[in-house]
């Protein structure tokens, strides 16, 4: 499926892309699948998007998810580093940090850095004190829910019939695996997933908003199972499957485990950590397609 590079794909669907409800003038809203305020201000100008109809409750639900996830994924890492040098995007990140409230901490995003302090003893006269800090964190359940809605919309587009004004919904289920910030895109699980699916047929590759939104789906060679990956705001990546569970589970079982080291353990409390692993640019193939099978119907 060829996506026009400079104008949106617009559907006139008669069922809600997210819940399947039959739409009427009273409950129908126009929905931008890549939210205009989800990516930095102005990045969708002159770039493609997917615009379709959704019912009012689903549209509101998605907008609520987008609000704090957008603000958080635009923030720098623990060392103040961004994944880009776009000045306008950095300024928009600072504005959103003030205006958006993290659903995880119930505070403004700018005040939602997370801190852990644990104190203990190793023996008489030997005290231990550990303090760890991180930038604002996305609630994983909310992130996977937003990913599910975005994936549903693009699958609906791929199966859309302009005569009936309806699209399809995948069968069997949605199976998210992991979210990771840029500083950890090279962890063994992410890399194992990337290497496993890179030879599968690419069914959709969607890159827009000057690279601040990326999506790819690939079809399992033998099953009704699709692998998917999303990248938000050059900061957060999510991976998983939809479709038949068993083939997806077999692959997950074969992937490396993420091992954490125990720092401190006491009755009713413990602290473990895992060193983040960045991904070298020349080893990043998650959103690369190497042959002409890049864009096919679902």
Is the torsion defined by CA of 76, 82, 83, 84 positive or negative? positive
Q: Convert 11-25 into a string of H (helix), E (strand) and C (coil).
A: CCCCECCCCCCECCC
pLDDT the model gives residue 132? 65
Above 90 in pLDDT, residue 291? no
Higher pLDDT, 221 or 8: 221
Query: Is the pLDDT assigned to residue 48 strictly greater than 80?
Result: yes
- Mean of the pLDDT values across residues 197-201? 96
Q: What is the dihedral of CA 16, 19, 20, 25, to 10 degrees?
A: -40
Which tops the pLDDT comparison, 296 or 278? 278
| Backbone φ and ψ of 241, nearest 5° | -135, 160
Confidence of residue 281 (pLDDT cuts 50, 70, 90): very high
- Neighbouring residues of 3: CB distance < 8 A, sequence distance ≥ 6: 9, 48, 206, 295
> In this predicted model, what pLDDT tens digit does every residue of 241-263 receive, in sequence order?
999 999 999 999 999 999 877 76
Q: How far apart are CA 104 and CA 213, in angstroms?
A: 23
**What Rg do the C-alpha atoms of the chain give, in angstroms?**
21
pLDDT digits (tens, 9 = 90+) for 203-218: 999 999 999 999 999 9
Q: Are 82 and 187 in contact (CB under 8 A)?
A: no
**190 phi/psi in degrees, rounded to 5:** -60, -45
Model confidence, pTM: 0.89
Share above pLDDT 90 across residues of the chain, in percent, rounded to a whole number: 77
DSSP assignment letter at 223: S
Q: How distant, in Å, are the alpha carbons of 159, 178, 265 from that of 258?
A: 36, 11, 19
| Domain spans, the chain | 169-283
Does position 37 have pLDDT exceeding 90, yes or no?
Answer: yes
pLDDT digits (tens, 9 = 90+) for 107-133: 999 999 987 665 666 566 666 565 667
Paired sense of beta strands 9-10 and 50-55, if any: parallel
CB-based burial of residue 118 (10 Å sphere; 0-12 exposed, 13-18 middle, 19+ buried)?
Answer: middle
């Amino acid at each position: 499926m060829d996506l026009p590079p400079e104008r949106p794909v617009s559907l006139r669907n008669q069922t809600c892309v997210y819940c399947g409800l039959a739409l009427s003038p009273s409950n129908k809203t126009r929905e931008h699948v890549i939210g205009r305020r989800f990516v930095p201000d102005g990045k969708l100008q002159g770039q493609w998007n997917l615009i379709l109809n959704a019912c009012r409750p689903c549209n509101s639900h998605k907008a609520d998810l987008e609000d704090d996830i957008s603000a958080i994924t635009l923030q720098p890492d623990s060392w103040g580093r961004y994944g880009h040098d776009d000045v306008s995007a950095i300024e928009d990140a600072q504005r959103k940090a003030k205006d958006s409230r993290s659903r995880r901490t119930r505070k403004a995003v700018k005040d939602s850095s997370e801190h852990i302090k644990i104190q203990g003893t190793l023996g008489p006269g030997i005290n231990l004190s550990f303090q760890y800090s991180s930038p604002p964190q996305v609630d994983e359940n909310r992130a996977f829910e937003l990913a599910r809605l975005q994936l549903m919309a693009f699958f609906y587009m791929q199966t859309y019939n302009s005569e009936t004004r309806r699209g399809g919904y995948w069968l069997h289920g949605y199976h998210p695996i992991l979210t990771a910030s840029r500083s950890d895109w090279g962890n063994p699980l992410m890399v194992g997933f990337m290497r496993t699916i890179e030879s599968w047929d690419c069914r959709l590759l969607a890159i827009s908003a000057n690279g601040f939104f990326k999506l790819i789906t690939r079809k399992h060679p033998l099953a009704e199972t699709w692998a998917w990956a999303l990248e938000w705001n050059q900061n957060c990546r999510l991976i998983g499957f939809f479709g038949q569970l068993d083939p997806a589970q077999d692959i997950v079982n074969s992937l490396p485990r993420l091992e954490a080291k125990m720092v401190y353990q006491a009755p009713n409390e413990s602290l473990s950590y895992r060193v983040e692993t960045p991904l070298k640019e020349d080893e990043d193939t998650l959103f690369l397609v190497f042959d002409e099978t890049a864009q096919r119907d679902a």
